[in-house]
Amino acid sequence: MRPAFRHCVAALAVAAAIALPAFAAQGTAGKVAGLKAFDADYVANYMGMQGAAKMSLAQAGGQWKYTLRVSSSLATLSQSTTFDEHDGQWRPLSGTDQSAVLIKKVSKQAQYDWSKGVATWTGDVKADRAGPVKLQPGDLDAMLVNLAIARDVAAGKPLRYRMVDDGRVKDLEYAVEGKEAVTIGGKKQQATKVTRTDGNKQTLVWVVDGLPAPARILQRKDGKDEMDLQLKQMR
């Protein structure tokens, strides 16, 4: 369950996440100019079981905290990343990842030490996934990829990212497939559909102009839907 969201969310993937005024990544270190807090409610579907999800962005001093929580009768998931802005780029600083699927519980923590230029992971991690992993300017964690997708779609920028997450480095590239209608709060809106395929897995993200988070994030495996988040409302 966890990798599906970390590679979306999207993207937000959640998700994944449009060079909108709300997400202009410019300003002084520790402050992201124009970035605005939000709370979003989603309908979640995991392996055919319906649940609920909440996505939020909140300012914490000179930093920002981006959080995703998903719950269903089968599983619960809570992920968050704290980040700032440096030289016009978002930098992950720390992250938490907790999940409970039936009776199995997993808890992981990430630290991005930019002064040393390395990322490390603790908690329920394998030895070969603990790091350290060398950081490069522009690196994102999986949660921030969501916001970066939403930021970059409207600007027409290449949707290519270097993700440092879960003890590894992965190059991600998303493709814009065109426009498609999505329903938010009972109303249809036009969205830009973005996809990425990795072997037998596929991530699909729908971005609506003016919204600071994805309107929908869908994760598929072997052609079957595994996880689906659909926006209900945003405030």
Question: Could you tell me which residues come within 8 angstroms of residue 144 by beta carbon, excluding any fewer than 6 positions away?
Answer: 17, 66, 81, 83, 90, 92
Domains of the chain: 2-234 (2.50.20)
User: Length of the chain in residues, anyone?
Assistant: 235
pLDDT band at 29 (very low <50, low <70, confident <90, very high): very low
Whether 18 and 151 have beta carbons less than 8 Å apart is answered as yes
Closest to 218 in 3D by CA, of 210, 209, 207, 230:
230
Measured distance CA(190)–CA(156) in Å, rounded? 17
Start-to-end C-alpha separation, the chain: 27
pLDDT at 186: 86
Beta-bridge partners for 101: 75, 104
> For residue 127, what is the DSSP state?
G
Closest to 141 in 3D by CA, of 96, 198, 175:
96
Predicted confidence (pLDDT) per residue in 177-220, tens digit: 999 999 998 899 999 999 999 999 999 999 998 887 889 999 99
Closest to 153 in 3D by CA, of 30, 40, 12:
12
Indicate the average pLDDT of the chain: 82
pLDDT band at 27 (very low <50, low <70, confident <90, very high): very low
Greatest CA span in the chain, whole angstroms?
Answer: 49
